[in-house]
Amino acid sequence: MENMLLLHGAIGSSQQLQPLKNLLEENYQVHSLNFHGHGGSDLPDSDFSIPAFAEQVIEYLDQQSIDKTNIFGYSMGGYVAMYLAKHYPARVQKIITLGTKFYWDEKVAEKEVPQLNANLIETKLPSFAAELKERHAPQDWKAVLEKTKTLLINLGHNNALHLPDYSGIENPCLVMLGDRDKMITLEETLQVYHHLPNAQFSVLPATPHPIEKANLPLLAYLIRNFC
């Protein structure tokens, strides 16, 4: 049975992918992890970064004695998956991404960072604030947001992956986008798709950005069909 590693998005946790994990366990040896600082795991002293998250994945694979794995990455998790394929291709079989923001510059970061304002979330989205508090306990969810802000700002100054980098990724990739995703543009997704030498592209119908609102049976079917 092949391995499948599920990677969550920014300010998310592995628990969000548990329903998808349940659907895939008949077909794969399914693994998941919390990126450092997420889902109650210890906050690192250093900043969040894509390379650091990728190194964490490699450490996990080594600990589990996994030589190579398929990877499904949601949102930021898809970016980490692509970074792994670029820098650690021998450890990756196939990659599936959903709702991943590939393009970053200072203007994009300036637009995204205010959405991580903890005080604003508490005031306007109290239920979401409570959800974040529970998701990252016992860590301070506000500290997770602050480190995520730094991650986005740094990506805005220096994207971890540029379009020419994708041309060097030989691993088979399935790049997916929800048709109602307001965070990710079709243009940036197609640009990456067209640069990948061995890729497929799919649009999920009636699908906004949050993974909780995705049609998980359909998503699991597409993953199984691809891998």
Looking at residue 147, its pLDDT comes to: 95
Looking at the domain assignment, is residue 182 inside a domain? yes
User: Mean pLDDT in the chain?
Assistant: 95
Looking at the domain assignment, is residue 117 inside a domain? no
* Rounded mean pLDDT, 73-85: 97
Sequence-distant (6+) residues with CB within 8 A of 120 are 114
Looking at residue 45, its pLDDT comes to: 87
* Rounded mean pLDDT, 69-82: 98
DSSP symbol at 140: -
User: Per the confidence metrics, is the pTM higher than 0.85?
Assistant: yes
Looking at the domain assignment, is residue 152 inside a domain? no
Looking at the domain assignment, is residue 123 inside a domain? no
Q: What is the pLDDT of residues 116-148, one digit of tens each?
A: 999 999 999 999 999 999 999 999 999 999 999
Query: Which residues form the domain of 33?
Result: 3-102+161-226
Looking at the domain assignment, is residue 52 inside a domain? yes
Q: Which residues of 78-94 are buried (b: 16+ CB within 10 A; e: fewer)?
A: bbbbbbbbbbeeebbbb
Where does residue 15 fall: left (phi above 0), alpha (psi -120 to 50 degrees), or beta otherwise?
alpha
150: its two tokens: 């730094």
Looking at the domain assignment, is residue 145 inside a domain? no
Q: What is the pLDDT of residues 97-108, one digit of tens each?
A: 999 999 998 999
CATH number at residue 90: 3.40.50.1820
Of 20, 63, 11, 12, the residue nearest 223 (C-alpha): 20
Looking at the domain assignment, is residue 70 inside a domain? yes
The count of structural domains within the chain is 1
Looking at the domain assignment, is residue 93 inside a domain? yes
**Band of the pLDDT at 1, cuts 50, 70, 90?**
confident
Q: What is the pLDDT of residues 185-216, one digit of tens each?
A: 999 999 999 999 999 999 999 999 999 999 99
pLDDT of residue 71 exceeding 90, the answer is yes
